[in-house]
Amino acid sequence: MNKTTLEQWRMLDAVVRYGGFAQAAAAIHKSQSTINHAVHKLQNQLGLSLLEVVGRKAQLTEAGALMLRRAQRLLEHASDMEQVAASLAAGDEAEIRIAVDEVFPPAYLVNALETLSARYPNTRVQLQETVLSGGPELLRGGDVDLLIAGEIPQGFLGDPLARVAFIAVARHDHPLLQQPAPLNLQDLAPYRQIVVRDSSREQDTDSGWLGAEQRWTVSHVTTSLDMISRGMGFAWLPAPRVQAALDAGVLAALPLEKGARRYAQLYLTHADTDRAGPATRYLAQLLHETCLKNADSFDF
Strand partners, 168: 236
Coil vs helix vs strand at 244: helix
Q: Quick one: 47 and 120 in the same domain?
A: no
Number of domains comprising the chain:
2
Give me the pLDDT at residue 77, please: 82
CATH of the domain at 111: 3.40.190.290
Q: Say if residue 74 is in the same domain as residue 112.
A: no
Are residues 85 and 100 located together in one domain of the fold? no
Give the single-character DSSP code of 180: P
3-state secondary structure of 274: coil
- Structure confidence at residue 84 (pLDDT): 63
Cα atoms in the Cβ-side hemisphere of radius 13 Å centred on 192: 13
Asked if 265 and 135 touch (Cβ cutoff 8 Å), the reply is no
Tell me the residue range of the domain where 182 lies.
Answer: 94-300
Q: Is residue 78 part of a domain?
A: yes
- 10-residue averages of pLDDT along the chain (300 residues): 85 89 90 91 90 81 91 84 67 87 91 94 93 91 94 93 94 95 91 87 56 78 95 94 95 94 94 87 95 69
Phi/psi of residue 15, each to 5°? -60, -45
